[in-house]
Structure 1
Amino acid sequence: MSSAEEPLISRQAAPSQDPDPNDETTVHEDVAAAASPTIFIYLLTFSAGISGLLFGYDTGVISSTLVSLGTSLSSRELTALDKSIITSSTSLLALLVSPFASLLADRLGRRRVVLATDAVFAAGSAVQTASTTVAAMVLGRAVVGAAVGAASFVVPLYVAELAPAAFRGRLLTVNVVFITLGQVVAYVVGWALREYGDERTAWRWMVGLGALPAVVQAVVIAFMPETPRWLVLVGRAGEARRVVAKVLGGKGGKREVDATVKAIEIEVREESEGRRLRNSGTGGAASGWKASLQELFGVSRNRRALSIACLLQGLQQLCGFNSLMYFSATIFTMVGFPIPTLTSLVVAVTNFAFTIAALFLIDRIGRRRILLWSIPFMIAGLLLAAWGFSFIKLSTTDSAPAKTPADGAAAVILVSIMVYVAGYAMGLGNVPWMQSELFALNVRSLGSGIATATNWGANFVIGLTFLLLMDAFTPSWTFVLYAVICATGYGLIWRFYPETAGLSLEEAASLLEDDNWGVR
């Protein structure tokens, strides 16, 4: 069983030990491993995954919105700096909110945080729809950023703590599938409204429709339960038993339910005892978030887990992928495609299709291997795009297409971007969001929150600088820069990211305790 298939809510016996037929935990693991996801689990994953749809829709819709605004904001054409600020304001608020969302998820519960993000997202969509100035649009984008920042952290955590062990990697990837589906929907909506709607109000419909999935999710998830681990953590073991029974769907009896909850309770006690011993050794007893920070940064295994998670989350953004999602319609307009939003849809469909492929391959190939196999395709696509851009003279200061006909170069750029996106969807688009597997239970929420903040910090940098880099260094050198970042990331992954397929949690932990970080 790979590390992705290890239960986050139970502890396995070490592989070297013979299973005890009378041990309840062993019995539960056998049932969990054999069972397929129940309808209840699929409903949970769907209801939580709508947050991914919201995230993807917001990422995609801004691309169509930027080429549809005209003089609607502040009665003037937008500059490259205007577009950059409008785009990056979402990432900035997501960066600021995601670490605090981890604390709220521990205090209020995972489910309540998801519900709160729906309300905030709907409010942000309303502000964008009513905007008449650049400043108001930036405010609306920032409010939406607060929602997606919290949701991008808490939804994978919510699914991971509820999903059956044998299907965890697959169900976590479903959330990424929802993100890519949201991008496809955004491009379809953007194209339809731009081609057939009123050009003066089309962009308002684009951003306003984002509130609809938020309302749907709020209604559905209001009837969904909390995760068993959080319920045990706050002393509500009875409710945890009922949730576990629903997860098992009648495939495990009372014995299996009790064994699962008992395993969670043991872990919670071990975490508490371990923290008490460490605090006594330092002469003080920290509490709350201070204790979690001490645990995260004071234990070498946790520091290494955080380093790996932040590396993957940072690389996911610094490779430049979301610059294409945010500005693809702008790029294809400048290159000379007659219907840029429709061309952007081709890229989004590529992303969606290869994310579906990753859904079936991620648990078979392994995290390290799929990254090392897919990143070279990203590098090749970026370098090919840089070569294609060298034949086209364009500027980001307006939306006019390139004045020099270069149909062959435009086709090369489109194909190269599709190759790049396909490689991204197979690896970097998925693996970083499995970050919760790297952390021990007592630092999982905080560590995942910090790693998610790293993602949004890098996203902010990319959104703010992409058009400015295109102007300052030309598109070709901008894409070469992203290729260099991908190559650097490839080297760091090869050196520091161990393959955990087939290892128990204990073995994975021992890998990160080694000076070589477990890479063999």
Structure 2
Amino acid sequence: MPAPHEDVELDSMNDAAAEPLISNRRGFPNDARDHYDGDEEERRGQVDESAVLSPGLFIWSLTICAGISGLLFGYDTGVISSTLISVDTDLSSRLLTTVDKSLITSATAFFALLASPLTGVLADQYGRKTVILFADVLFVLGALWQAWTTSVGGMIAGRSIVGAAVGSASFVVPLYISELSPSPFRGRLVVVSTLFITAGQVVAYSIGWLFSERMHGWRWMVGLGALPAAIQFVMLLFLPETPRYLIKAGRTQQARMVLGRVYKTGEGGQELVNAVLRRVEKEIEEEEDAAGLRATPGIAKSGWRAKVGRVQDNFAQLVVVGGNRRALNIACMLQGFQQLCGFNSLMYFSATIFRLVGFESPTLTSLSIAITNFLFTLVAFHYIDRIGRRRILLWSVPIMVIGLILCAIAFRFLDLPEDEAASTTSVVASNKTWPLVILISMITYVAGYAIGMGNVPWQQSELFPLSVRSLGSAVSTATNWGSNTFIGITFLPMMNVFTPVGTFALYAGVCVVAWITIWRIYPETAGLGLEDVGGLLRDGYGVEDSLRKFNERRRGRGL
């Protein structure tokens, strides 16, 4: 694995090679662009958000409304655990097989994977708010489809529709919140969306427990997901688009009005609004200069050809420009490891695991996992802007490793039954200690996950400049859902082939690799404005520089 700054020279060469491809759409000479780069520190100094002492009612209202998508995300991924053990023979008049369970579970993640890049493009073309509204429609349709279906194929289709909704909402909600939040509170406000996800999982397990003993109760479990989506759809109609998207779309006056409500800081508020507007507009000018160079001279594009061209330009910028590419590397790395560490195997199959090891009420036992996830996400909410994204990951991943290793050791001393139906009598009768150790080890693992890995990857939008922010966030979210699909479809077969001991030991190994990678390439971005983060990644991963500046900011705040 390369050292943090080994690729600086190569990326600089690639960036330089890309320069001749740039033609100047606005007619600015190239030395004007150099002037902007030379003025970078001066422009940054014009925006001081330290006067914003709290997010304010407006920002909290936006965050909570957008966070309902997180509630739906958590509910729809958590409710399947209870559903799988409650369906019985209601689907296709037979018991679910291992293949049925794997396909029903992984369909959500697979269609989230397909939807993420597409809705990333839509978020750039039609706005962040529009994509959230579109996701709400899919959430309602998917929930009702699942509630009414009578076949395994119909259930897979319903889960697929929900997956498209989850894939759309999972990247655009953190993006929406991030683009509206004052930088001192951005980390915590994005964590609120994750807090809603964990709350959704708690609600899912609670509903699962309440309806698990009722005939066809699983239909209520999946169908109730339509209600929050319908409520959010109505609420969101009265909320604004993000100011950064509005500026990019040329609706500057609307953006000014939204920013005026975001930075309501008394007499200095209007100056801060003007400073943010200037900074975003200059960033857009620089990015459009670069993107416009890829247009063929003398050929004007319009209509759908122009839109296709812009998408192609954005993809090119994302891959060719060194800073963007490094941002994509970090975001995809974090999102991939978030899933490959095996967490969602617990969300999808915790009830199955607890029934296997002999707990009499597996759904109720699974609720302890969801509650742990919720409570320790509150810890992340409190500390993520105070101690930083990088440090909170480096401290919490070892806790995950300890939990996974302890779980693997506990499974080593359990004689598991050949079939699930025999699990309650054989395991409980032989030993009550090791199932309890498994529960404690899983709670430990989930606590570590919730503090760091469950939250920090969703800060991904702050890594990207405005021109590729939506697309970069969508691609990295697709990495998340691709990894999620892999985990969902392989967990039960891995438990059979590698045994639970090997499966959980493998997840522990993934966490170790994640820790090393984070230590080497992930810079500290806490407290930086959205337009400032790109400076860290321009010439390398900027780990040492970011830590030095973060410590200076902390000392300046007396921390």
TM-score between both structures, scaled by the size of structure 2: 0.84
Q: After the TM superposition, which residues 80-479 of structure 1 pair with which residues of structure 2 at under 5 Å, given as runs?
A: 80-195=98-213, 198=214, 200-249=215-264, 251=266, 253-277=269-293, 287-394=309-416, 398-401=420-423, 403-404=426-427, 405-479=430-504
Give the Å deviation of 1:88: 0.3
Structure 1 window deviating more from structure 2 (51-60 vs 265-274): it is 265-274
The change in CA–CA distance for 1:19 and 1:469 in structure 2 (over 3 A counts) is: closer
Equivalent residue for 2:71, pick from 40, 53, 56: 53
SS for the counterpart of 1:225 is coil
SS for the counterpart of 1:40 is helix
Contact residue 183 and residue 527 of structure 2 kept, 8 A = no
Give the match for residue 4 of structure 1: none
Specify the code of the residue in structure 2 equivalent to 1:50: I
Specify the code of the residue in structure 2 equivalent to 1:276: G
Give the match for residue 519 of structure 2: 494
Contact residue 355 and residue 420 of structure 2 kept, 8 A = no
Give the Å deviation of 1:280: 7.9
SS for the counterpart of 2:180 is coil
Percent identity between the aligned chains?
54
* CA root-mean-square deviation: 2.5
Give the Å deviation of 1:499: 2.8
The change in CA–CA distance for 1:398 and 1:421 in structure 2 (over 3 A counts) is: same
TM-score between both structures, scaled by the size of structure 1: 0.91
Give the match for residue 5 of structure 1: none
Count of residues in Structure 1 that have an aligned counterpart in Structure 2: 499
The change in CA–CA distance for 1:518 and 1:54 in structure 2 (over 3 A counts) is: same
Give the Å deviation of 1:508: 4.6
Q: After superposition, give the CA deviation of every residue in 1:321-357 in whole Å (9 maximum; x if it has no partner).
A: 0000110011111111111111101111111110001
Give the Å deviation of 1:15: 9.2
Contact residue 395 and residue 471 of structure 1 kept, 8 A = no
Cα distance in 2 for partners of 1:220, 1:359 equals: 24
The change in CA–CA distance for 1:101 and 1:504 in structure 2 (over 3 A counts) is: closer
The change in CA–CA distance for 1:235 and 1:51 in structure 2 (over 3 A counts) is: same
The change in CA–CA distance for 1:192 and 1:477 in structure 2 (over 3 A counts) is: same
Structure 1 window deviating more from structure 2 (321-330 vs 285-294): it is 285-294
The change in CA–CA distance for 1:71 and 1:398 in structure 2 (over 3 A counts) is: farther
Cα distance in 1 for partners of 2:363, 2:403 equals: 21
The change in CA–CA distance for 1:120 and 1:271 in structure 2 (over 3 A counts) is: same
Contact residue 118 and residue 214 of structure 1 kept, 8 A = yes
The change in CA–CA distance for 1:266 and 1:514 in structure 2 (over 3 A counts) is: closer
Contact residue 15 and residue 504 of structure 1 kept, 8 A = no
SS for the counterpart of 1:214 is helix
Give the match for residue 8 of structure 1: none
Contact residue 385 and residue 527 of structure 2 kept, 8 A = no
Structure 2: where are the runs of 5+ without partners? Answer: 1-35, 302-307, 546-559
Alignment pair present for 1:73 and 2:91: yes
SS for the counterpart of 2:399 is helix
Give the Å deviation of 1:264: 2.4
The change in CA–CA distance for 1:357 and 1:455 in structure 2 (over 3 A counts) is: same
The change in CA–CA distance for 1:303 and 1:206 in structure 2 (over 3 A counts) is: same
Specify the code of the residue in structure 1 equivalent to 2:497: A
Contact residue 33 and residue 166 of structure 1 kept, 8 A = no
Cα distance in 2 for partners of 1:505, 1:227 equals: 13
Structure 1: where are the runs of 5+ without partners? Answer: 1-10
The change in CA–CA distance for 1:18 and 1:150 in structure 2 (over 3 A counts) is: closer
Contact residue 14 and residue 504 of structure 1 kept, 8 A = no
Specify the code of the residue in structure 2 equivalent to 1:464: I
The change in CA–CA distance for 1:172 and 1:19 in structure 2 (over 3 A counts) is: closer
Specify the code of the residue in structure 2 equivalent to 1:210: G
The change in CA–CA distance for 1:488 and 1:128 in structure 2 (over 3 A counts) is: same
SS for the counterpart of 1:161 is helix
Give the Å deviation of 1:277: 4.4
Specify the code of the residue in structure 2 equivalent to 1:406: N
Give the Å deviation of 1:503: 6.0
Q: After superposition, give the CA deviation of every residue in 1:395-445 in whole Å (9 maximum; x if it has no partner).
A: 685454252322101000000000000000011001000011111221111
Q: After superposition, give the CA deviation of every residue in 1:237-283 in whole Å (9 maximum; x if it has no partner).
A: 121122112223463554443333333222222211132346689x9
The change in CA–CA distance for 1:504 and 1:232 in structure 2 (over 3 A counts) is: closer
Give the Å deviation of 1:18: 10
Contact residue 125 and residue 144 of structure 1 kept, 8 A = yes
